[in-house]
A = this chain, B = another copy of it.
Amino acid sequence: MSDNRTQYLLDASRMPKHWYNIAADLPQALPPVLHPGTMQPIGPADLAPLFPMALIEQEVSTEREIPIPEPVREVFKLWRPAPLFRARRLEQALGTPARIYYKYEGVSPAGSHKPNTAVPQAWYNAQAGVKKLTTETGAGQWGSSLAFAGALFGIDVTVFQVRVSYDQKPYRRALMETYGARCIASPSNETQAGRAALALRPDHPGSLGLAISEAVEVAATHDDVKYALGSVLNHVLLHQTIIGQEAMLQLEMAGDDPDVIVGCTGGGSNFAGIAFPFIGQQLRGGKKRRIVAVEPAACPSLTRGKYAYDFGDTAKMTPLTKMHTLGSSFTPPSFHAGGLRYHGMAPLVSHLKELKLLEAVAYHQVACFEAGVMFARAEGIVPAPEANHAVKGAIVEALRCKAEGRSEVILFNLCGHGHFDMSAYSAYFAGKLTDQSYDESELAMALAGLPSVAA
Using a CB–CB distance below 8 Å, which chain A residues touch chain B? Answer: 5-7, 9, 11-12, 74-75, 77-78, 85, 89, 107, 109, 111, 148, 151-152, 170-175, 177-180, 373, 376-382, 417-420, 422-423, 425-426, 429
Instruction: Please name all residues of chain B whose beta carbon is closer than 8 Å to the beta carbon of A9 when the two chains form the complex.
Output: 9, 11-12
Asked whether B382 lies within 8 Å of A175 as measured between CB atoms, the reply is yes
Instruction: Please name all residues of chain B whose beta carbon is closer than 8 Å to the beta carbon of A380 when the two chains form the complex.
Output: 75, 78, 109, 148, 151-152
**Closest B residue, CB atoms, query A78:** B380
Asked whether A111 lies within 8 Å of B423 as measured between CB atoms, the reply is no
Q: How many copies of this chain does the complex contain?
A: 2
Asked whether B7 lies within 8 Å of A373 as measured between CB atoms, the reply is no
Instruction: Please name all residues of chain B whose beta carbon is closer than 8 Å to the beta carbon of A382 when the two chains form the complex.
Output: 109, 175, 178-179
Q: Give A7 to B148 CA distance when docked, in angstroms.
A: 18
Besides A109-B381, A419-B420, 12 more A-B contacts (Cβ < 8 Å) are: A5-B12, A7-B77, A9-B12, A89-B152, A170-B422, A170-B426, A173-B426, A175-B419, A177-B426, A178-B429, A179-B382, A419-B419
Instruction: Please name all residues of chain B whose beta carbon is closer than 8 Å to the beta carbon of A175 when the two chains form the complex.
Output: 382, 419, 422, 425
Q: Give A381 to B379 CA distance when docked, in angstroms.
A: 24
- Listed A/B pairs (8) with beta-carbon separation below 8 Å: A6-B77, A7-B78, A9-B12, A171-B423, A174-B429, A178-B425, A178-B429, A419-B420
Tell me the dominant secondary structure on chain A's binding face.
helix
Smallest CB-CB A-B distances: 4 pairs: A171-B422, A7-B77, A174-B422, A174-B426
Q: Give A174 to B373 CA distance when docked, in angstroms.
A: 11
Asked whether B423 lies within 8 Å of A170 as measured between CB atoms, the reply is yes
Instruction: Please name all residues of chain B whose beta carbon is closer than 8 Å to the beta carbon of A429 when the two chains form the complex.
Output: 174, 177-178
Asked whether A6 lies within 8 Å of B74 as measured between CB atoms, the reply is yes
Asked whether B376 lies within 8 Å of A172 as measured between CB atoms, the reply is no
Asked whether B111 lies within 8 Å of A419 as measured between CB atoms, the reply is yes
Minimum Cβ distance to chain B for residue A3 (Å): 12
Instruction: Please name all residues of chain B whose beta carbon is closer than 8 Å to the beta carbon of A74 when the two chains form the complex.
Output: 6
Q: Give A377 to B154 CA distance when docked, in angstroms.
A: 10
Q: Give A148 to B373 CA distance when docked, in angstroms.
A: 12
Instruction: Please name all residues of chain B whose beta carbon is closer than 8 Å to the beta carbon of A109 when the two chains form the complex.
Output: 380-382
Instruction: Please name all residues of chain B whose beta carbon is closer than 8 Å to the beta carbon of A423 when the two chains form the complex.
Output: 170-171, 174
Asked whether B426 lies within 8 Å of A171 as measured between CB atoms, the reply is yes
Q: Give A170 to B429 CA distance when docked, in angstroms.
A: 12
Whether A78 touches B111, Cβ cut-off 8 Å, given contacts A9-B12, A12-B9, A422-B172, is no
Residue from the list B7, B170, B179, B377 in contact with A180, Cβ < 8 A: B377
**Closest B residue, CB atoms, query A169:** B422
Instruction: Please name all residues of chain B whose beta carbon is closer than 8 Å to the beta carbon of A180 when the two chains form the complex.
Output: 377
Most buried by B among A78, A89, A107: A78
Minimum Cβ distance to chain B for residue A253 (Å): 11
Asked whether B425 lies within 8 Å of A78 as measured between CB atoms, the reply is no
Instruction: Please name all residues of chain B whose beta carbon is closer than 8 Å to the beta carbon of A170 when the two chains form the complex.
Output: 422-423, 426
Q: Give A85 to B12 CA distance when docked, in angstroms.
A: 13
**Closest B residue, CB atoms, query A420:** B419
**Closest B residue, CB atoms, query A150:** B377
Asked whether B78 lies within 8 Å of A381 as measured between CB atoms, the reply is yes
Asked whether A178 lies within 8 Å of B89 as measured between CB atoms, the reply is no
Instruction: Please name all residues of chain B whose beta carbon is closer than 8 Å to the beta carbon of A12 when the two chains form the complex.
Output: 5, 7, 9
Asked whether B6 lies within 8 Å of A376 as measured between CB atoms, the reply is no
**Closest B residue, CB atoms, query A151:** B377
Instruction: Please name all residues of chain B whose beta carbon is closer than 8 Å to the beta carbon of A75 when the two chains form the complex.
Output: 380
Instruction: Please name all residues of chain B whose beta carbon is closer than 8 Å to the beta carbon of A179 when the two chains form the complex.
Output: 376-377, 382
Asked whether B174 lies within 8 Å of A425 as measured between CB atoms, the reply is yes
